[in-house]
Amino acid sequence: MTDPADRIATAAVEGLRRRALLVHGGEVLDVDGLVVSLTNLRDPAINGCVAGREPADPDAALAAAEAAFRARDLPFFSIELEEGRYPGLEAAVTRAGLAVSISHPAMAVRTADLPRSSFPPGVDVEIVLGGDDELAVLRRAALAAFGGDPVVTERFVNREMVAGEGIATFVARMDGVVVGTGTGWLLRETVGVFAIAVDDHARRRGIGAALTIASAGAFDGEADLAWLHPSTMARSMYASLGFREVARWNVWVRP
Protein backbone atom coordinates (compact mmCIF):
# COMPACT_ATOMS: atom_id res chain seq x y z
CA MET A 1 0.00 0.00 0.00
CA THR A 2 1.26 3.51 -0.83
CA ASP A 3 2.09 5.64 2.21
CA PRO A 4 -1.27 6.56 3.86
CA ALA A 5 -0.16 10.18 4.35
CA ASP A 6 0.49 10.50 0.59
CA ARG A 7 -2.90 9.00 -0.21
CA ILE A 8 -4.69 11.31 2.22
CA ALA A 9 -2.93 14.35 0.73
CA THR A 10 -4.19 13.41 -2.74
CA ALA A 11 -7.68 12.52 -1.55
CA ALA A 12 -8.03 15.76 0.43
CA VAL A 13 -7.42 17.81 -2.72
CA GLU A 14 -10.11 15.89 -4.61
CA GLY A 15 -12.51 16.23 -1.68
CA LEU A 16 -12.19 20.01 -1.56
CA ARG A 17 -12.68 20.23 -5.32
CA ARG A 18 -15.84 18.16 -5.17
CA ARG A 19 -17.23 19.98 -2.15
CA ALA A 20 -17.10 23.36 -3.87
CA LEU A 21 -18.66 22.11 -7.09
CA LEU A 22 -21.57 20.44 -5.28
CA VAL A 23 -22.81 23.86 -4.16
CA HIS A 24 -24.68 26.03 -6.64
CA GLY A 25 -22.37 28.93 -7.43
CA GLY A 26 -19.28 27.13 -6.16
CA GLU A 27 -16.01 27.18 -8.07
CA VAL A 28 -12.48 25.80 -7.98
CA LEU A 29 -9.40 27.78 -8.98
CA ASP A 30 -5.95 26.32 -9.67
CA VAL A 31 -3.20 28.74 -8.69
CA ASP A 32 0.34 27.45 -9.28
CA GLY A 33 -0.23 24.22 -7.37
CA LEU A 34 -2.78 25.61 -4.92
CA VAL A 35 -6.39 24.47 -5.16
CA VAL A 36 -8.76 27.24 -4.07
CA SER A 37 -12.10 25.67 -3.15
CA LEU A 38 -14.89 28.25 -2.99
CA THR A 39 -18.50 27.47 -2.20
CA ASN A 40 -18.91 31.27 -2.17
CA LEU A 41 -21.12 30.93 0.89
CA ARG A 42 -20.10 33.28 3.68
CA ASP A 43 -18.76 30.68 6.07
CA PRO A 44 -15.01 30.19 6.55
CA ALA A 45 -15.44 26.49 7.37
CA ILE A 46 -16.64 25.66 3.85
CA ASN A 47 -14.26 27.77 1.78
CA GLY A 48 -10.57 27.06 1.76
CA CYS A 49 -7.33 26.31 0.01
CA VAL A 50 -5.07 23.26 -0.10
CA ALA A 51 -1.85 22.43 -1.91
CA GLY A 52 -1.72 19.90 -4.70
CA ARG A 53 2.03 20.46 -5.13
CA GLU A 54 4.75 22.87 -4.09
CA PRO A 55 4.20 26.14 -6.02
CA ALA A 56 6.94 27.44 -8.28
CA ASP A 57 6.55 30.82 -6.56
CA PRO A 58 4.96 30.15 -3.14
CA ASP A 59 4.67 33.81 -2.12
CA ALA A 60 2.94 34.84 -5.35
CA ALA A 61 0.66 31.79 -5.34
CA LEU A 62 -0.42 32.44 -1.77
CA ALA A 63 -1.10 36.11 -2.50
CA ALA A 64 -3.14 35.20 -5.58
CA ALA A 65 -5.18 32.64 -3.64
CA GLU A 66 -6.00 35.16 -0.94
CA ALA A 67 -6.84 37.77 -3.57
CA ALA A 68 -9.41 35.35 -5.02
CA PHE A 69 -11.23 35.38 -1.68
CA ARG A 70 -11.16 39.17 -1.50
CA ALA A 71 -12.41 39.51 -5.09
CA ARG A 72 -15.50 37.54 -4.09
CA ASP A 73 -16.07 39.66 -0.98
CA LEU A 74 -15.27 36.76 1.35
CA PRO A 75 -13.91 38.39 4.53
CA PHE A 76 -11.65 35.50 5.52
CA PHE A 77 -8.87 33.32 4.15
CA SER A 78 -7.48 29.94 5.17
CA ILE A 79 -5.11 27.32 3.80
CA GLU A 80 -4.78 23.78 5.15
CA LEU A 81 -1.34 22.16 4.95
CA GLU A 82 0.19 18.91 6.05
CA GLU A 83 3.21 19.66 8.22
CA GLY A 84 6.48 19.20 6.35
CA ARG A 85 5.04 18.23 2.96
CA TYR A 86 5.56 21.60 1.27
CA PRO A 87 8.32 23.45 3.17
CA GLY A 88 8.58 26.32 0.71
CA LEU A 89 4.86 27.00 1.00
CA GLU A 90 4.94 26.72 4.80
CA ALA A 91 7.69 29.34 4.87
CA ALA A 92 5.63 31.62 2.60
CA VAL A 93 2.59 31.22 4.83
CA THR A 94 4.65 32.35 7.81
CA ARG A 95 6.09 35.31 5.88
CA ALA A 96 2.56 36.33 4.88
CA GLY A 97 1.60 36.68 8.54
CA LEU A 98 -0.87 33.81 8.70
CA ALA A 99 -1.30 31.94 11.99
CA VAL A 100 -2.31 28.39 12.86
CA SER A 101 -5.96 28.32 13.91
CA ILE A 102 -6.43 24.54 14.12
CA SER A 103 -3.85 21.77 14.34
CA HIS A 104 -5.09 18.21 14.06
CA PRO A 105 -3.77 14.78 13.11
CA ALA A 106 -4.73 12.82 10.05
CA MET A 107 -5.72 9.34 11.23
CA ALA A 108 -6.15 6.31 9.01
CA VAL A 109 -7.09 2.64 9.14
CA ARG A 110 -7.31 -0.10 6.53
CA THR A 111 -10.98 -0.69 5.86
CA ALA A 112 -10.39 -4.43 6.22
CA ASP A 113 -9.29 -3.79 9.81
CA LEU A 114 -12.39 -1.89 10.88
CA PRO A 115 -14.44 -3.59 13.60
CA ARG A 116 -17.75 -5.06 12.59
CA SER A 117 -20.59 -2.62 13.01
CA SER A 118 -22.44 -2.96 16.29
CA PHE A 119 -25.38 -0.67 16.97
CA PRO A 120 -26.04 0.29 20.59
CA PRO A 121 -29.31 -1.02 22.06
CA GLY A 122 -32.27 1.05 20.96
CA VAL A 123 -30.28 2.80 18.20
CA ASP A 124 -30.73 2.37 14.45
CA VAL A 125 -28.23 3.64 11.86
CA GLU A 126 -29.74 4.34 8.44
CA ILE A 127 -28.35 5.61 5.13
CA VAL A 128 -29.77 8.87 3.81
CA LEU A 129 -31.34 8.76 0.34
CA GLY A 130 -31.67 12.52 -0.09
CA GLY A 131 -35.40 13.08 0.31
CA ASP A 132 -36.72 16.49 1.31
CA ASP A 133 -37.68 15.35 4.81
CA GLU A 134 -34.23 13.82 5.31
CA LEU A 135 -32.53 17.03 4.16
CA ALA A 136 -34.57 19.05 6.63
CA VAL A 137 -33.51 16.73 9.45
CA LEU A 138 -29.85 16.90 8.40
CA ARG A 139 -29.93 20.69 8.25
CA ARG A 140 -31.34 20.90 11.76
CA ALA A 141 -28.71 18.45 12.98
CA ALA A 142 -25.90 20.41 11.29
CA LEU A 143 -27.02 23.66 12.87
CA ALA A 144 -27.26 22.02 16.30
CA ALA A 145 -23.82 20.42 16.01
CA PHE A 146 -21.80 23.05 14.17
CA GLY A 147 -23.80 26.29 14.38
CA GLY A 148 -23.78 28.76 11.51
CA ASP A 149 -26.28 30.61 9.34
CA PRO A 150 -29.48 28.66 8.51
CA VAL A 151 -29.50 30.11 4.97
CA VAL A 152 -25.92 28.94 4.36
CA THR A 153 -26.71 25.52 5.83
CA GLU A 154 -29.76 25.11 3.59
CA ARG A 155 -27.67 25.72 0.47
CA PHE A 156 -24.71 23.66 1.61
CA VAL A 157 -26.61 20.61 2.90
CA ASN A 158 -28.16 19.75 -0.46
CA ARG A 159 -29.15 16.46 -2.06
CA GLU A 160 -25.91 16.05 -4.02
CA MET A 161 -23.78 16.84 -0.96
CA VAL A 162 -25.35 14.12 1.18
CA ALA A 163 -26.36 11.44 -1.32
CA GLY A 164 -24.50 12.14 -4.56
CA GLU A 165 -22.26 9.69 -6.36
CA GLY A 166 -19.50 8.47 -4.08
CA ILE A 167 -21.11 9.98 -0.96
CA ALA A 168 -22.87 8.05 1.79
CA THR A 169 -24.51 9.90 4.67
CA PHE A 170 -25.92 8.15 7.74
CA VAL A 171 -28.18 9.12 10.60
CA ALA A 172 -28.49 7.44 13.98
CA ARG A 173 -31.97 7.32 15.50
CA MET A 174 -32.81 6.67 19.12
CA ASP A 175 -36.51 6.12 19.85
CA GLY A 176 -37.17 7.34 16.31
CA VAL A 177 -35.37 10.67 16.81
CA VAL A 178 -32.16 11.55 14.95
CA VAL A 179 -29.35 11.91 17.50
CA GLY A 180 -26.27 11.66 15.25
CA THR A 181 -24.95 11.96 11.71
CA GLY A 182 -21.87 10.98 9.72
CA THR A 183 -20.67 10.94 6.11
CA GLY A 184 -18.20 8.94 4.03
CA TRP A 185 -16.78 10.21 0.73
CA LEU A 186 -15.14 7.88 -1.78
CA LEU A 187 -11.95 9.69 -2.83
CA ARG A 188 -9.23 7.98 -4.87
CA GLU A 189 -9.87 4.51 -3.42
CA THR A 190 -9.97 5.95 0.09
CA VAL A 191 -12.91 6.98 2.25
CA GLY A 192 -12.79 10.35 3.92
CA VAL A 193 -14.97 10.33 7.05
CA PHE A 194 -16.56 13.69 7.81
CA ALA A 195 -19.05 15.40 10.10
CA ILE A 196 -19.44 12.70 12.74
CA ALA A 197 -21.69 14.39 15.29
CA VAL A 198 -23.77 13.08 18.19
CA ASP A 199 -26.20 15.07 20.34
CA ASP A 200 -24.88 15.85 23.80
CA HIS A 201 -27.54 13.82 25.59
CA ALA A 202 -26.81 10.72 23.45
CA ARG A 203 -23.04 10.58 23.84
CA ARG A 204 -21.04 7.78 25.48
CA ARG A 205 -23.40 5.12 24.12
CA GLY A 206 -21.29 4.00 21.13
CA ILE A 207 -23.30 6.02 18.61
CA GLY A 208 -20.29 7.95 17.29
CA ALA A 209 -18.39 4.69 16.81
CA ALA A 210 -21.32 3.10 14.96
CA LEU A 211 -21.62 6.12 12.64
CA THR A 212 -17.86 6.07 12.00
CA ILE A 213 -17.84 2.38 11.10
CA ALA A 214 -20.84 2.83 8.80
CA SER A 215 -19.29 5.85 7.06
CA ALA A 216 -15.79 4.33 6.75
CA GLY A 217 -17.15 1.05 5.44
CA ALA A 218 -19.70 2.48 3.04
CA PHE A 219 -17.68 1.64 -0.08
CA ASP A 220 -16.61 -1.91 0.60
CA GLY A 221 -14.63 -3.26 -2.33
CA GLU A 222 -13.93 0.22 -3.75
CA ALA A 223 -11.69 1.62 -1.02
CA ASP A 224 -9.04 0.03 1.17
CA LEU A 225 -8.20 3.01 3.42
CA ALA A 226 -10.39 5.20 5.62
CA TRP A 227 -9.14 8.49 7.06
CA LEU A 228 -10.31 11.50 9.04
CA HIS A 229 -9.24 14.60 10.91
CA PRO A 230 -10.49 14.12 14.49
CA SER A 231 -11.42 16.64 17.12
CA THR A 232 -9.40 16.38 20.32
CA MET A 233 -12.45 15.07 22.15
CA ALA A 234 -13.09 12.24 19.68
CA ARG A 235 -9.52 11.14 19.03
CA SER A 236 -9.51 8.32 21.60
CA MET A 237 -12.77 6.95 20.18
CA TYR A 238 -11.27 6.74 16.70
CA ALA A 239 -8.13 5.14 18.09
CA SER A 240 -10.30 2.43 19.67
CA LEU A 241 -11.60 1.63 16.17
CA GLY A 242 -8.08 1.16 14.82
CA PHE A 243 -7.37 4.62 13.39
CA ARG A 244 -3.73 5.68 13.82
CA GLU A 245 -2.07 9.05 13.30
CA VAL A 246 -0.13 9.19 10.02
CA ALA A 247 0.40 12.94 9.61
CA ARG A 248 -0.45 16.31 11.13
CA TRP A 249 -2.31 19.06 9.34
CA ASN A 250 -2.60 22.75 10.23
CA VAL A 251 -5.22 25.25 9.19
CA TRP A 252 -3.55 28.64 8.69
CA VAL A 253 -5.74 31.75 8.75
CA ARG A 254 -5.41 35.47 8.34
CA PRO A 255 -5.76 36.78 11.92
For residues 8 and 190, the answer to whether their CB atoms sit within 8 Å is yes
The domain 4-105: what is its CATH number?
A: 3.40.630.30
- Summarize pLDDT for 29-61 with one digit per residue, the tens: 999 999 999 999 999 999 999 999 999 999 999
Distance CA 152, CA 36 (A): 19
pLDDT (0 to 100) of residue 199: 92
pLDDT (0 to 100) of residue 77: 97
Please check the confidence at residue 175 and state whether its pLDDT lies above 80.
yes
Greater model confidence, 116 or 235: 235
CA nearest neighbour of 138 among 173, 98, 189: 173
Alpha carbons within 13 A on the beta-carbon side of 127: 13
Burial of 148 (0-12, 13-18, 19+ CB in 10 A): middle
The domain 110-247: what is its CATH number?
A: 3.40.630.30
pLDDT (0 to 100) of residue 1: 54
Output the CA–CA distances (angstroms, integers) from residue 180 to 110, 141, 219, 232, in the order listed.
Answer: 24, 8, 20, 18
For residues 102 and 231, the answer to whether their CB atoms sit within 8 Å is no
- Comma-separated ranges of CATH 3.40.630.30 domains in the chain: 4-105, 110-247
CA nearest neighbour of 22 among 10, 1, 39, 8: 39
Q: How confident is the model at residue 137 (pLDDT cuts 50, 70, 90)?
A: very high
pLDDT (0 to 100) of residue 228: 98
Pairing of strands 190-198, 177-187: antiparallel
Distance CA 140, CA 145 (A): 9
Residue type, 212: T
pLDDT (0 to 100) of residue 125: 93
pTM confidence score: 0.94
Neighbours of 96 (CB within 10 A): 16
Q: Can you give the length of the chain in residues?
A: 255
Distance CA 38, CA 17 (A): 9
159: Cβ contacts below 8 Å, ≥ 6 apart: 130, 135
